[in-house]
Chains A and B, each alone.
Chain A
């Protein structure tokens, strides 16, 4: 048994994630483009399913804080239903957060209305997961890509807009001659390129990429990932990159946050997160990804978690992960571990992460 008193002491003066701008040495002196603090989103559940009189809700996003800096890619990874898309949608005010602060480009997003909101959606764009459902089938790709310019009354004359569209089509590797074709005439990877061209039409400062490659085959996925990389280099756009595939997130991200049941359990630059994951959930997640190398796959240690993630309607007490955590202790079901900085720039929400590890709390990956 670990010495719980030390743990309690340690959690008394935790360093919270929202202080990241002051603490991350690589980013010091650089104002965040996006600042998210204590973001909460609950969806009410219709009471008919549950006992009458008792209001219940889905705790989709549960006190999430992070920053995104200009020109960086921030990866958000976690299993299905952990709240990744809901987080992204709150940032852009596609849905309204229950509470918390979102500051984008120095302005508070939470109370924006009308014109301001329109401005927000000029500088922040969203690329959706499903390249089949997210494009209006009755619009030509020229209309689809130029639509944001029309909405924001930008891009000059019609001819100039068409020129821009052709330019964008070329940039994303599509034939500018195809400007009058419809989405169904394109493959999945090509449609995702169309969505990306549309997102870039207004040169936004931040693009929320919600599983942009999950529906694509590996060879096509690599094309789209490289494209996102090139466009970032060219335009200096920051990305919030949402995905459940850890290798993809690692490949594209500068910093990564791991989400579990609506909360961030670990956050760090990609190198230390993947080399030294400190949270038992990140460790299990990383060890569960099969690597395409049989020698390595046969020899490496793996943590197979028992059971399914609990319901976000009724999240566990204390540490959200304690029902599946292989090293859970008594304190874990009672006290919620704060997201604290265990090394410069590396945040972890576990009572037993550094500097208080217990035996078996870390594995070699």
Chain B
């Protein structure tokens, strides 16, 4: 970001940018129809490694998901699990080298983002896919007025004049709930509170009405009351604009709040992916179970002890042999320690990278109980059990209380469901 104050046109880098060229040459991707059989965004077995002098950092190690308009994908995982790097790879923001795409593809409206030129990607960024970064203070340039920064994408992508861009910035700021927006656009980022900066970032990201909004921990640095404001704002904006959201966070509560689909990442790898209901009420990966047992519940009767996951996450340079979770997994077997699990996908798209994901007995005995196990809500998957028998994750004391079954999985053996080769 290198424009702003009245420093003369020569200082304005946009003056030298062939703006008209960008605008004429490429039509808005987001206006084009999604080809038959495709989703808005398809990430297919994406691998991106950093080649550093300490070794190869397998930061994105087989990420797959699909996303449609109006949907929200939650990406959860612990620090260093590759959440941010995955998003930045999709946006073409990783320096290559040290980064290198090692396999897979990213299709936006059927077109490969990885095959696009940097110039094409520049129009995609901000215009079609916008990103809110983890730290709003570093993402906003401290020496330029907030209004100029919010207006920047409009000048780049839409050819707005400087004045029009600032006027629009004021509109956007008031839209995201900042009072006295006409004055506020003239202020600098340090004059904004943390919550207001995050709102300004959202205003900037939404300036060009993007198809996809990627939000990287947009609320992590904020207090809960401000976090609630920001999440409500993002949901309202999504209702209005119909955009898709990718919400990156380590907070399972936040994804429970807004996500339709959830990807759980561990050591650069999505170990489980499914709808929010799949992940919260029928999780089938031991790491997901571990996460759920680690968070203190809000209870008003008896406190339940926490069951932490033992040990620490592995280094992405020297991943353990076999399943990367095996050194910490309480259920690891020799198979786990030697072979990388395949991706086991249920008919409804819920997948898990655990050797035992499709073994109903394994899941039933070990998955943590959840509110649906108590209340007897509709289970989404029943695995190879006679009707009326207890269901995976159901409290054993209530056999036969559940009869409704959808997306039933007919067979027990792993080879029954589609299994892709998990790559090393």
User: Chain A interface (Cβ within 8 Å of chain B)?
Assistant: 79-80, 187, 189-190, 217-223, 225-226, 244, 246-248, 250-251, 271, 274-275, 284-297, 302, 304-306, 308-309
* Cβ–Cβ < 8 Å partners of A293 in chain B: 256, 280, 370-371
Answer yes or no: B382 CB below 8 A from chain A CBs.
Answer: no
Answer yes or no: B300 CB below 8 A from chain A CBs.
Answer: yes
> Which of A244, A248, A291, A292: most chain B CB closer than 10 A?
A292
* Interchain CA distance A200-B251 in the complex, whole Å: 30
* Interchain CA distance A244-B194 in the complex, whole Å: 16
CB-based contact A308/B256 at 8 Å: no
CB-based contact A247/B296 at 8 Å: yes
CB-based contact B294/A292 at 8 Å: no
* Cβ–Cβ < 8 Å partners of B228 in chain A: 287-288, 290, 302, 304-305
Answer yes or no: B240 CB below 8 A from chain A CBs.
Answer: no
> Which of A219, A246, A309: most chain B CB closer than 10 A?
A219
> Which of A225, A285, A294, A305: most chain B CB closer than 10 A?
A294
Q: Across the two chains, which residue of chain A brings its CB closest to B303?
A: A251
* Interchain CA distance A286-B227 in the complex, whole Å: 12
CB-based contact B306/A291 at 8 Å: no
A304 to chain B, nearest CB (A): 5
A-side interface mostly: helix
B287 to chain A, nearest CB (A): 9
A226-B305, A290-B254, A304-B228 known; A220 vs B312 contact (CB < 8 Å):
yes
* Cβ–Cβ < 8 Å partners of A221 in chain B: 294, 308
Q: Across the two chains, which residue of chain A brings its CB closest to B276?
A: A294
Interface CB pairs A-B, < 8 A, 12:
A80-B223, A218-B78, A219-B294, A220-B312, A226-B308, A247-B298, A289-B224, A291-B256, A292-B292, A293-B256, A293-B371, A294-B257
A219-B309, A220-B308 known; A79 vs B277 contact (CB < 8 Å):
no
A217-B79, A247-B297, A274-B298 known; A292 vs B225 contact (CB < 8 Å):
no
CB-based contact A294/B78 at 8 Å: no
Answer yes or no: B253 CB below 8 A from chain A CBs.
Answer: yes
Q: Across the two chains, which residue of chain A brings its CB closest to B306?
A: A222
* Cβ–Cβ < 8 Å partners of B277 in chain A: 294
CB-based contact B308/A292 at 8 Å: no
For window 275-315 of chain B, which residues contact chain A by CB distance below 8 Å? 276-277, 280-281, 290-301, 303, 305-310, 312-313
Residue among A223, A244, A295, A306 making CB contact with B371, cutoff 8 Å: A295
* Cβ–Cβ < 8 Å partners of B310 in chain A: 223
* Interchain CA distance A225-B307 in the complex, whole Å: 10
Answer yes or no: B274 CB below 8 A from chain A CBs.
Answer: no
* Cβ–Cβ < 8 Å partners of A223 in chain B: 308, 310
* Interchain CA distance A189-B328 in the complex, whole Å: 15
For window 343-400 of chain B, which residues contact chain A by CB distance below 8 Å? 370-372, 377
* Interchain CA distance A19-B215 in the complex, whole Å: 48
CB-based contact A251/B225 at 8 Å: no
A301 to chain B, nearest CB (A): 12
CB-based contact A275/B276 at 8 Å: no
CB-based contact A290/B78 at 8 Å: no
B331 to chain A, nearest CB (A): 16
* Interchain CA distance A330-B225 in the complex, whole Å: 24
* Cβ–Cβ < 8 Å partners of B298 in chain A: 246-247, 250, 274, 286, 289, 291
> Which of B231, B308, B371: most chain A CB closer than 10 A?
B308
A343 to chain B, nearest CB (A): 15
* Cβ–Cβ < 8 Å partners of B252 in chain A: 218, 292
CB-based contact A218/B294 at 8 Å: yes
A80-B223, A294-B277, A295-B372 known; A289 vs B253 contact (CB < 8 Å):
yes
Answer yes or no: B138 CB below 8 A from chain A CBs.
Answer: no
Cβ proximity bits B302-344 to A, threshold 8 Å, 1 near / 0 not: 0101111110110000000000000000000000000000000
Residue among A247, A284, A295, A296 making CB contact with B225, cutoff 8 Å: A284
B74 to chain A, nearest CB (A): 10
CB-based contact B280/A79 at 8 Å: no
* Interchain CA distance A218-B301 in the complex, whole Å: 22
* Interchain CA distance A115-B423 in the complex, whole Å: 64
CB-based contact B280/A308 at 8 Å: no
* Interchain CA distance A322-B59 in the complex, whole Å: 48
A191 to chain B, nearest CB (A): 11
> Which of B227, B254, B303: most chain A CB closer than 10 A?
B303
* Cβ–Cβ < 8 Å partners of A218 in chain B: 78, 250, 252, 291, 294-295
* Interchain CA distance A253-B114 in the complex, whole Å: 50
CB-based contact B224/A247 at 8 Å: no
CB-based contact B227/A288 at 8 Å: yes
A217-B79, A219-B309, A292-B252 known; A297 vs B257 contact (CB < 8 Å):
yes
* Cβ–Cβ < 8 Å partners of A285 in chain B: 224-225
A304-B232, A308-B196 known; A292 vs B295 contact (CB < 8 Å):
yes
B71 to chain A, nearest CB (A): 15
* Cβ–Cβ < 8 Å partners of A217 in chain B: 78-79, 250, 313
CB-based contact A219/B300 at 8 Å: no
Answer yes or no: B193 CB below 8 A from chain A CBs.
Answer: yes
B158 to chain A, nearest CB (A): 31
Q: Across the two chains, which residue of chain B brings its CB closest to A274?
A: B300
Cβ proximity bits B185-202 to A, threshold 8 Å, 1 near / 0 not: 000000001111000000
CB-based contact B223/A244 at 8 Å: yes
A357 to chain B, nearest CB (A): 20
* Interchain CA distance A308-B228 in the complex, whole Å: 12
CB-based contact A295/B377 at 8 Å: yes
Given A219-B308, A271-B301, 12 additional A-B pairs, CB 8 A? A219-B290, A220-B308, A222-B307, A246-B224, A246-B298, A288-B227, A290-B251, A291-B253, A292-B253, A292-B256, A295-B372, A297-B253
* Cβ–Cβ < 8 Å partners of A294 in chain B: 256-257, 276-277, 280
A288 to chain B, nearest CB (A): 4
* Interchain CA distance A225-B301 in the complex, whole Å: 19
Residue among A219, A251, A289, A290 making CB contact with B291, cutoff 8 Å: A219
* Interchain CA distance A38-B254 in the complex, whole Å: 37
CB-based contact B312/A190 at 8 Å: yes
Answer yes or no: B90 CB below 8 A from chain A CBs.
Answer: no
Answer yes or no: B229 CB below 8 A from chain A CBs.
Answer: yes
* Interchain CA distance A284-B226 in the complex, whole Å: 11
* Interchain CA distance A290-B228 in the complex, whole Å: 8
A219-B309, A284-B225, A293-B280 known; A251 vs B377 contact (CB < 8 Å):
no
* Interchain CA distance A217-B207 in the complex, whole Å: 33
Of all A-B residue pairs in the complex, the 3 with the closest CB atoms, nearest first, are: A290-B253, A251-B296, A222-B308
Q: Across the two chains, which residue of chain A brings its CB closest to B296?
A: A251
